[in-house]
């Protein structure tokens, strides 16, 4: 049960004013961006959650692994499937946020912070040339530049008093 002090302020979405219209457009655009990102993450998560290290091939060639120790490979493959299942779940949360943006705002920001930290973890490979090479530059840019911007956008668009279209 919520008291008057706990209740969220009502937002009147029936009237469009010049001061709220840009915010509504921004929120609509944000939801579309979250849908695209969520779909992308979910697809790539499923690619490895269902296909393991060798993947299902949805991202290109999948014949890049030569297994020399099947037992150890199977253990590592199982770990990759688990982490990829978590990645898939993150994508599904992004998709859910297209409907429940305000309710999931802090969850989204937390997930974006985790993605940012994952981008930083790439540097532990010790190979800056690999990270900044053509195969990974898009990923590292998204993780270290776009995710903080997206977190800012989520926080700005879902701040108390921001319109929530239904």
5-28 pLDDT, tens per residue? 454 444 444 334 444 555 667 899
Segments forming the whole domain that contains residue 102: 21-55+72-157
Q: What is the pLDDT of residue 162?
A: 67
Query: Is 137 inside any structural domain?
Result: yes
Q: Domain count of the chain?
A: 1
Whether the Cβ atoms of residue 101 and residue 28 lie closer than 8 Å to each other: no
Which tokens belong to 52?
Answer: 């393991």
- The yes-or-no verdict on residue 48 having pLDDT over 70 is yes
Query: Is 1 inside any structural domain?
Result: no
Query: Is 7 inside any structural domain?
Result: no
Query: Is 64 inside any structural domain?
Result: no
Query: Is 3 inside any structural domain?
Result: no
- The yes-or-no verdict on residue 43 having pLDDT over 70 is yes
Query: Is 6 inside any structural domain?
Result: no
Whether the Cβ atoms of residue 38 and residue 97 lie closer than 8 Å to each other: yes
Average pLDDT over residues 33-51: 96
Query: Is 115 inside any structural domain?
Result: yes
Query: Is 13 inside any structural domain?
Result: no
Q: What is the pLDDT of residue 24?
A: 67
pLDDT in tens, 52-106: 988 888 887 777 888 999 999 999 999 999 999 999 999 999 999 999 999 999 9
Pairwise CA distance, residues 152 & 62, whole Å: 36
């Amino acid at each position: 049960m919520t008291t008057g002090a706990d209740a969220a302020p009502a937002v009147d979405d029936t009237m469009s004013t010049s001061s709220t219209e840009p915010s509504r457009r921004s929120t609509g655009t944000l939801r579309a961006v979250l849908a695209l990102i969520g779909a992308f993450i979910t697809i790539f998560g499923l690619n490895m959650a269902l296909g393991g290290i060798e993947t299902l091939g949805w991202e290109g060639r999948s014949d890049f692994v030569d297994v020399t120790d099947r037992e150890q490979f199977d253990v590592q493959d199982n770990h990759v499937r688990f982490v990829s299942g978590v990645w898939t779940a993150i994508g599904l949360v992004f998709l859910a946020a297209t409907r429940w943006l305000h309710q999931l705002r802090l969850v989204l920001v937390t997930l974006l912070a985790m993605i940012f930290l994952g981008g930083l973890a790439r540097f532990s490979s010790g190979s800056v040339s690999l990270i900044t090479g053509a195969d990974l530059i898009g990923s590292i840019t998204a993780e270290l530049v776009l995710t903080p911007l997206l977190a800012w956008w989520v926080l700005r668009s879902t701040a108390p008093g921001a319109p929530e279209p239904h």
